[in-house]
Chain A
């Protein structure tokens, strides 16, 4: 059973608007969370991370929110740009440097 879930396989957003990608996890031992972006025919690239001692982390247009009680994290992209169109994976880790990824959400930002 997947410990990290992304329930929306795809999301379409207009350029300039906010994109919100969601991720849920089941393991309460996870204490480090990441978002990766993946373009076709390339490997994933790191976007932003957050540790469990925080509930928000910002990096430019990207903000990750963590709700530990709900075991939920989200990625906000504001404003969305066509170049943001990609597949986004959330990932989580507890001890021992093992990582668990979600199934991905394909974001399409329309010009």
Chain B
């Protein structure tokens, strides 16, 4: 089954404790991206990657890191989480997100709470 998977789905942590949210896709997509969803703000793009070893900042990259060592994986790293990073996070992937015949496929989301 074609899908984007995220782990963990739920995470409660404390300020300053490094964490990684994994994202994996099995569709051989080149493009991958991370978003956060907050009430009243919709989805905001954190980072995206056009291919292996190619990453770029989205709209809200501060406090986050990403890496793209393999095509299928795109982990999101919070080196020192803070309470304002409490949010719902989505990973997405696509062959080419701007082609009319293609679009981004989203994972199920990771609910992160930073105390």
Q: Which residues of A are in contact with B by a Cβ distance under 8 Å?
A: 2, 4, 6, 32, 34, 36, 41-46, 49, 51, 89, 91, 93, 96-104
Contacts and interface: CB of A to CB of B under 8 A. Distances in A.
Contact of B104 (A4, A46, A100, A103): A46
Interface residues of B, number: 27
A43 B109 contact: yes
Given A34-B103, A99-B33, A99-B97, A42 B108 contact: yes
A103 B48 contact: no
A32 to B, nearest CB: 5
B41 interface: yes
Interface string B15-28: 00000000000000
Interface in B28-70: 31, 33, 35, 40-45, 48, 50, 56, 58-59
A18 B6 CA distance: 36
B108 A101 contact: no
Contacts of B45: 98-101
A62 B58 CA distance: 29
19 contacts: A2-B42, A34-B103, A41-B108, A42-B109, A43-B90, A43-B92, A43-B107, A44-B43, A46-B104, A93-B97, A97-B48, A98-B45, A98-B48, A98-B56, A99-B33, A99-B45, A102-B42, A103-B42, A104-B42
Contacts of B35: 101
Contact of B43 (A42, A46, A51, A101): A101
B103 A49 contact: yes
Closest 5 CB pairs of A and B: A43-B106, A46-B103, A101-B43, A103-B42, A101-B42
